[in-house]
Structure 1
Amino acid sequence: MSDTIHHECGIALIRLLKPLDYYQKKYGSYLYGLNRLYILMEKQRNRGQDGAGVVGVKLDMEPGYKYMDRARSCDANPIQEVFDKIHANFPPDLTSEKDADWAKQNLPFVSEVYLGHLRYATFGKNNIDYVHPLKRASNWRSHNLALAANFNLTNVDELFDSLIRAGQHPRNYSDTVTLLEKVGYFLDDEIQDLYHYFKEKGFSKQEITPLIEQAIDLPGVLARSSADWDGGYAVAGVLGHGDAFVARDPWGIRPAYYYKDDEVVVVASEGSVIQTAFQGMNMNIQEIKPGYALIIKKDGTVTEELVREPKKRSSCSFERIYFSRGNDRNIYQERKKLGELLTPQLIRAVDGDLDNTVFSFIPNTAETSFYGMVKGIQQYMVEEKKRQIREGKASWCEETLDAIICREPRIEKIVIKDAKLRTFITSDSGRDGLVGHVYDVTYGAVSENDNLVVIDDSIVRGTTLRRSILRILDQLGPRRIVVVSSAPQIRYPDCYGIDMTRMNEFIAFNAAIELIRERGMENLIDEVYKDCKAQQGLPKEEIVNHVKRIYAPFTDEEISDKIAQMVRDERLHAEVKVVFQTVENLHLACPNDTGDWYFTGNYPTPGGNKVVNTAFINWVEGRDERSY
């Protein structure tokens, strides 16, 4: 993606089902689980660069020994920093110096349960206090709770107030702390009820503790905790005695996958990283169902339990387009299909002149959709060849037939990303001065009579197009540059974990506003603003997305053409066109992941409508604030 978007967070949970000496004997190390966790986190690195954290929980430790360890970092390279901290406690030779039992009792992070997290900050910025896993500590083992999540809630204000009404005094106003305290509150309530139950049965306090740990109803705790959560989430947690869980929102907005065999249970935000970390070819990796929680009890029992009534599935299509790793088989095929379905629009954009058109892509995530785009053009050209031969336009001269049959799309690698330079560009302010040098181009591959078609996975702000990509492509001297997005126009803020919160961040919105002003329709802006303001204070369930009316007067093509004008610097020589995927084709390519609110404004939860109206109000009033 040429424009920067803060990614979603990533989670990883590992529960070893055998004694630690089993892994030492079979795999050569009692750190088998920790080593696999490191790979899971590294393979999900794209999901978090603001912070990383790991919690390890040891099962059945004797009183007086530490059983829960945590390491976190918000440094520039947080994963490496976290694991450097962990490994600093280990002796040089882990495999032979001491046995697994000694290591578990004496070394931190020699554990049976591991919970890891990768954070992209959508709240709290780069502050260690907000880096997951968050921890709720207690002298009672089962009261200890570590939590890590890929999530965003739209109704933190309501949830915060509910904690205050319950008599709590939360230490921070954030969705992360609120979520931790909600789960912790109902966990405490559950344990207290169990305590009174077993006490009435005549058990001693010492006898009651293990009975409580066995009897904790985690699905019930999660059902009560999440009953009023509005948003997308995959929430992973582990209790001090060893129970663990991963709960998924009832709309399936945020992803979570798991794998289980007789040695291990593993959960991650992406299925393909599980396969990579455990080197399996035919692993039965499953998706945690929306509204369900994967429950892993201390005794190793694994079940998938209903926590909230599943709603209409609205799993995030942006996951498929951009965030998830492209080595997943289904995602790979879907991205190719997104490129292929653009064929009719591309043919029109170059006026059918394929002989004088060069096809390329913006590295790196758009490469897969580029393969699909080329496949679509190839299929189109094959049909053209058949038509020419059937209609008798081709003589039977061998030279003419060769020219027809050998006609193929012209494919070149035009844009090259300088990965070394890119790593130093960490913020928008620091980025602007260097953005023009992030990409190099291949000179001599395009002539002055050529159309140059380049595909990107999405266009959000258009900033990099205007300041960098179009300028360097123009240096090649094409007569026309066609920029293609495999995603539809991003028009609305996300409020479920992707950091897109302000209306003026979207070039599609800015293009619609320009069209409104050009056509003397400014009253529409005022009307939408007044209607959004009138809904402030209403329950979120009663709020309507009035911002859709900003786009209603215009076709997709009109907005695309205006975007092309806006990203074209007046110093460019080439004509510029911009082509976007259609929402209809998006759903054809990704039929199982229908969450498209950033394109359509159709939010799956009531809180989404509240967020988009707030974002519009902030824009009109000139406030550079988050909309949730």
Structure 2
Amino acid sequence: MEILKHECGVALIRLLKPLEYYQEKYGTWMYGLNKLYLLMEKQHNRGQEAAGLACVKLQADPGEEYMFRERALGAGAITEIFGTVHSHFKDLTAEQLHDAEYAKKCLPFAGELYMGHLRYSTTGKSGISYVHPFLRRNNWRAKNLALCGNFNLTNVDEIFADITAAGQHPRKYADTYIMLEQVGHRLDREVERLYNICKEEGLQGMDITHAIENRIDLTNVLKTSSPQWDGGYVICGLTGSGESFAVRDPWGIRPAFWYMDDEIMVLASERPVIQTVLNVQADSIRELLPGQAILVNKKGEMRLAQINRPKNVKPCSFERIYFSRGSDIDIYKERKKLGERLVGPILKALGGDIDHTVFSFIPNTAEVAFYGMLEGFDNYLNKLKAERIEALGHKPTHEELKQILSRRIRSEKVAIKDIKLRTFIAEGNTRNDLAAHVYDITYGSLTPYQDSLVIIDDSIVRGTTLKQSIIGILDRLHPKKIVIVSSSPQVRYPDYYGIDMASMEQFIAFKAAIALLEDRGMQHVIEYAYRKSKAQTELPKEKMANYVKEIYAPFTDEEISAKIVELLTPAGTQAKVQIVYQTLEGLHEACPHHPGDWYFSGDYPTPGGVKLVNKAFIDWVEQNYQF
């Protein structure tokens, strides 16, 4: 499996009781901090390049710090940031460490609001200045803002032009900074609006401050700052005055789940994370709906608000296939269903011969789909057994029954993830030689030259691991045939909402379609699609069409799959190789509530996605052709 860099992870905690309560009940005032650590570690799969956390302390006196942040780079960032936080407590006496009142008054990160973020860069921009949460400081506590998110915007250029035209000056040309400026600007206006009202009421000094903090409504802020955002997002925020919020995109592309009782409100990118960390049932956790925000004010009062009207709702199906942890009950069932849906196409590839076939999977993310595939074949074989018994026409003898019932689906752990490819080996041939050893095989797991091997993966995007490692090493077992199975359809189009798949040349399906066009002398299809894409570049993005679809239109899925096999099979491979892909219909049947399939179908949920796929295609053509 080629590792995809993808959606980040977010975690938001609002403690609803004083710190003394948690000290008395749980033996530590660090209850919220500890839960944040667990929420982040349980979502480590979502971001291994950097991590950050923010904390807000309620009821701080003037002159005392009330908003804290810690960030770090690298795969060990979670350990590093929490280690740094705890370093502030290492010289405390046991009495001080267990004194919630002392912690509240004197210690950093001893607060009631916590927010955490795990980062996978989808922009190529790196460095600590790009690590969430982002802070916008101000002397007015209510104007202080910490922001983090799991998102990608497709129209950063348009938003940047708009806010600079209005007089703002973002520190960096990056979507997070731009969103921070937008939300921060509207937060400033909201505070100023309330300030004027309070002045008219005759309030003065700290009375104005307290009145503003008690009346502030972040729904106004979100409704005026977010409508322009085109993309998939879950944005979380904290203000210095004690407001917390999370808002989801109106297309429902990125996921968020929340739980609340009388002690705590928690939001995270994945449901089972909350289940495990708080030991609560799945049915007590709710999904944040498309365009919806959850907000908790300074007093700890929660409200849900519809910030943006839901549009063309398309939750990301890749979350279900690969990104989210498979421990979610629904995702587990869906991944099994994806495997089960492939029984028919696999049988066709095998010519029906399951007696001389070994089934396996590519570790580790395809394992659940593998179980579903096995169940499907078990059901198929049981049906065959019943038909054979019925066809006997007489009461079967013990030997006849034994012969029929002894047929089994043979499964083995054939591929083993052995080592991690180290990027410090950069020389082409040397690097490729090392890549060939990322996987190892279980020798003797099939009968050479007699058995076929079916091996399932969750997706095939670039195909580099198949070509450099997997096919070659599986061929050492001398199978008669190797059938590579993808539990998802052919990935044909870039994603612009969080996954690191943004340019055309990455996709083996695109390379295969182009190769077929060239093989058949149909380069005019490329030229026509290019000219149509180029002709609409001045149109508003809402009026653009995805002309990249025309590259695939002349061919069946099977023709493209056959060409992919040709491109990916290493020279000298003895076994016949075939690739079987999931169909779009199979995907939607297995994941009925997550119809977002733009990377497979080209049907982007937002206008920005259509604009960017055309740009990616234009860029690719101009680098490779002279039309």
Measured against the shorter chain, the TM-score band is over 0.9
Q: 2:496: which partner in 1?
A: 495
- Which residue is 1:530 aligned to? 531
SS in 2 for 1:379: helix
How far apart in 2 are the matches of 1:196 and 1:553?
64
The answer to whether residue 480 in structure 2 is matched with residue 471 in structure 1 is no
Instruction: Name 1:253's counterpart in structure 2.
Output: 253
CA shift, 1:282, in A, is: 5.5
* Structure 1 residues 54 and 433: alpha-carbon distance in aligned structure 2, compared to 1, 3 A threshold: farther
8 A contact 1:30–1:95 mirrored in 2: no
State the alpha-carbon separation in 2 of the partners of residues 578 and 52 from structure 1.
38
* 2:61 is the counterpart of 1:62: yes
User: Which ranges in structure 1 are unaligned for 5 or more consecutive residues?
Assistant: 624-628
Matched residue type, 1:581: Q
Superposed counterparts of 1:211-360, under 5 Å: 211-281=211-281, 284-360=284-360
Residue 38 of structure 2 corresponds to 39
Matches within 5 A, 1:133-172: 133-172=133-172
Deviation string, structure 1 residues 173-227 (Cα, Å, up to 9, x no partner): 1111111111111111111111111111211132111111121121111011011
**Helix, strand or coil at the partner of 1:55:** strand
- Tell me the equivalent position of 1:3: 2
Map 1:582-593 onto structure 2 (within 5 A).
582-593=583-594
Aligned to 1:543: 544
Q: Which amino acid is 2:247 matched to? A: A
Aligned residue number for residue 570 of structure 1: 571
Aligned to 2:20: 21
Q: What's the Cα RMSD here?
A: 1.7
Task: Find the aligned partners of 1:578 and 1:465 in 2 and give their Cα distance.
Answer: 11
CA distance in 2, matches of 1:423, 1:485: 23
Structure 2 CA distance for partners of 1:124 and 1:457, relative to 1, 3 Å: closer
In structure 1, give the amino acid aligned to 2:485: V
For the Cα contact (< 8 Å) 2:249–2:291, is it kept in 1? yes
Q: Letter of the 2:416 partner, please give it.
A: I
User: Once the two structures are superposed, what CA deviation does each residue of 1:126-171 show, in whole Å capped at 9, x if it has no partner?
Assistant: 2111100000001110000000000011000110011112111111
Q: Give the structure-1-normalised TM-score.
A: 0.96
Change (3 A) 1:426 1:293: farther
Aligned to 2:438: 438
Distance 1:120 1:200 in 2: 48
Matches of 1:480 and 1:169 in 2, distance apart? Answer: 61
Deviations 1:591-613 (A, max 9, x none): 00110000000001011110110
CA contact 1:147–1:238 (8 Å) conserved in 2: yes
Aligned to 2:284, the other structure's residue is in SS state coil
Q: Which residue of 2 aligns with 1:121?
A: 121
Identity fraction in percent: 54
1:577 maps to a residue whose letter is: Q
Deviation at 1:438, TM superposition (A): 1.6
Range moving further from structure 2, 359-368 or 209-218 = 209-218
Q: Is the 8 A contact 1:199 1:205 kept in 2?
A: no
Code of the aligned partner of 1:434:
L
Q: CA deviation at 1:394?
A: 8.5
Show the counterpart of 2:387: 387
Query: How many Å apart are 1:429 and its aligned residue?
Result: 8.0
CA contact (8 A) 1:7 1:46 kept: no
Shift of 1:423: 7.3
Q: Distance in 2 between matches of 1:433 and 1:195?
A: 67
Number of aligned positions between the proteins: 621
Q: 1:27 to 1:424 in 2, by over 3 A?
A: farther
- Which SS does the other structure have where 2:68 is aligned? strand
Q: SS at the partner of 1:473?
A: helix
Give the direction of change, closer, same or farther, for the CA distance of 1:269–1:616 in structure 2 (3 Å limit).
Answer: same
Q: Which amino acid aligns with 1:379?
A: N
Q: Distance in 1 between matches of 2:335 and 2:413?
A: 19
Q: Deviations over 1:561-603 (max 9, x none)?
A: 1111111112111110000000001000000011000000000
Residue 626 of structure 1 corresponds to none
Hey, what's the Cα distance between the residues in 2 that align with 1:53 and 1:426?
A: 27
Q: Distance in 1 between matches of 2:411 and 2:291?
A: 45
- CA shift for structure 1 position 28: 1.3
Q: Judging changes above 3 Å, is the alpha-carbon distance between structure 1 residues 73 and 169 closer, same or farther for their aligned structure 2 residues?
A: same
Question: What is the aligned partner in structure 2 of residue 519 from structure 1?
Answer: 520
* In 2: Cα distance, 1:301 partner to 1:94 partner: 35
Q: Secondary structure at the match of 1:90?
A: coil
Alignment of 1:371-386 (within 5 A): 371-386=371-386
Aligned partners of 2:499 and 2:441: how far apart in 1? 31
Task: Kindly indicate whether the alpha-carbon contact (under 8 Å) linking 1:51 and 1:126 is maintained by their aligned counterparts in 2.
Answer: no
User: Within 2, Cα distance between the matches of 1:404 and 1:320?
Assistant: 38
Q: State whether residues 488 and 599 of structure 1, in contact with CA within 8 Å, keep that contact through their aligned partners in structure 2.
A: yes
Describe the superposition over 1:477-513 as per-residue Cα deviations: whole angstroms up to 9, x where unpaired.
1010000000000000000011100111010111111
* Higher deviation after alignment, 390-399 or 285-294: 390-399
Matches within 5 A, 1:417-456: 417-418=417-418, 421-422=419-420, 424-425=422-423, 432=432, 434-447=434-447, 448-456=449-457
| CA gap 1:450/1:73 in 2 versus in 1, 3 angstroms | same
Give the whole-Å Cα distance in 1 for the aligned partners of 2:285 and 2:426: 38
CA distance in 2, matches of 1:423, 1:250: 39
SS at match of 1:464: helix
C-alpha displacement of 1:276: 1.2
Q: 1:329 to 1:565 in 2, by over 3 A?
A: same
User: How many angstroms apart in 1 are the aligned matches of 2:326 and 2:254?
Assistant: 17
CA-CA distance at 1:350 after TM superposition: 0.6
Give yes or no for the alignment of 1:175 onto 2:149.
Answer: no
Relative to structure 1, the CA distance from residue 270 to residue 466 in structure 2 (aligned partners, 3 Å threshold; closer, same or farther) is same
Q: CA deviation at 1:124?
A: 4.9
Summarize the Cα distance change of 1:506–1:395 in structure 2 as closer, same or farther, 3 Å threshold. farther
User: Counterparts of 2:565 and 2:425 in 1: how far apart (Å)?
Assistant: 25
What amino acid sits opposite 2:520 in the alignment? Answer: R
How far 1:428 moved relative to its partner? 8.8
Alignment CA distance shift 1:591-1:215 (3 Å): same
Show the counterpart of 1:605. 606
User: Which residue in the other structure is 2:193 paired with?
Assistant: 193
Distance 1:427 1:114 in 2: 40
Amino acid at match of 2:22: Y
Task: Tell me the alpha carbon deviations over residues 423-444 of structure 1, each in whole angstroms, 9 at most, x when there is no partner.
Answer: 7459998974532222111100
Gaps of 5+ in 2: none
- 1:480 counterpart = 2:466: no
2:435–2:468 CA contact under 8 A, matched in 1: yes
Report deviation, 1:94.
7.6
After superposition, the Cα gap between the structure-2 partners of 1:428 and 1:524, relative to the gap in structure 1 and judged at 3 Å, is farther
Answer whether contact 1:24 1:95 (CA < 8 A) is retained.
Answer: no
Displacement of 1:95: 6.1
Q: Determine if contact 1:57/1:69 at 8 Å carries over to the other structure.
A: yes
